Amino acid sequence: MSDIDYEAIARDAGLKRVGARPPLGEYLAEIWRRRAFAYSLAKFRIQASLNESRLGLGWIVLQPLLNAALYGLVFGFIMSSSSRPENFIAFLVVGVFTFQFFAQSFSQGARSITGNSGLVRSLSFPRMLMPIAQVLQELIELIPMVLVMGIIVAGTGEAITWKWLLVIPVYALMAMFNLGVALIAARLTVHLRDVTQMIPLISRLIFYSSGIFYSLELVLADNPPWMLTVAQLNPVHDYIALVRNFMIAGPELEPLVWIVAVGGAFVTLAIGIVFFWRAEERYGRD
């Protein structure tokens, strides 16, 4: 008795294998149709985190504020004044608050699949919605942070101008970049759980190379020009530099900063989408 080709019979009948990865176009269309799920998940997570502490929403702003105060006290005394801009408080606050958006998107996005294995295994939906919901949560929490950041910057004597509105497209580009990084990290942690242990180290490395509490332009002023060019190839540094440039008076940035900021957002997001989608069948099974 010959073997029956059940796969061919199912294919002729228009049936698909359970959990089969759809084409990329259909996959993205399904994500758009289920976008309300990502928003609801992000909203409920924020509500749950607020209910867990007495200060509630205050912790979202208080954490980066305390970090800024700590770095200001420590590095304000350790580092020479030649590496610090004139309005150091505003410079530091913008850097810490903006980096917080990246760091949280990176670390929490990396755990969006492995940390929600029960949900991933029990329900059928595009798994990409999990890191999307995580970055969306960080983006929502960024709103009160930016408001407090603006108050602090204005309180240091910086004039409020129309350029402040330009931080909105900068943070939109940064959200795209963060999502691309989160998608890449989310898949890597599924295949290699040890990646989770490396994330704090990677995040700290990016922190120190992004000029959070010092100006790369001032520090590298006496070095060959190519060194500053290499430093500006870091998109995180460029997003921070752009926000500072719009909110704090200072010299104009080089075109390379904009090129890396825009290109890094679209290229990283595209790579992240394809990289994450190609392993769609494995999420919840490993």
In this structure, of 22-31, 55-64, 141-150, the range with the lowest mean pLDDT score is 55-64
d(CA 263, CA 130): 24
d(CA 180, CA 267): 8
Residue 257 one-letter amino acid: V
Rounded percentage of the chain residues whose pLDDT exceeds 70 = 84
Query: What pLDDT is stored for residue 285 in this prediction?
Result: 65
- Smallest CA-to-CA distance from 273 within 42, 32, 24 is with 24
Rounded percentage of the chain residues whose pLDDT exceeds 90 = 47
The Cβ-side half-sphere exposure at 186, using a 13 Å CA radius, reads: 36
Query: How does pLDDT run across 213-251, given as a tens digit for each residue?
Result: 877 877 777 778 888 888 889 999 999 999 999 999 777
Most confident of the following: 19-23, 75-79, 201-205: 201-205
| DSSP 8-state secondary structure symbol assigned to residue 112 | T
d(CA 266, CA 172): 11
Query: How does pLDDT run across 71-113, given as a tens digit for each residue?
Result: 666 666 555 565 567 788 889 889 999 999 999 999 999 999 8
Q: Is the pTM of this model over 0.75?
A: yes
Q: Which position has the higher pLDDT, 19 or 95?
A: 95
Q: Which position has the higher pLDDT, 101 or 3?
A: 101
d(CA 121, CA 264): 33
Query: What pLDDT is stored for residue 15 in this prediction?
Result: 44
- Smallest CA-to-CA distance from 143 within 100, 200, 87 is with 100
Tokens representing residue 236 in the block: 């995180």
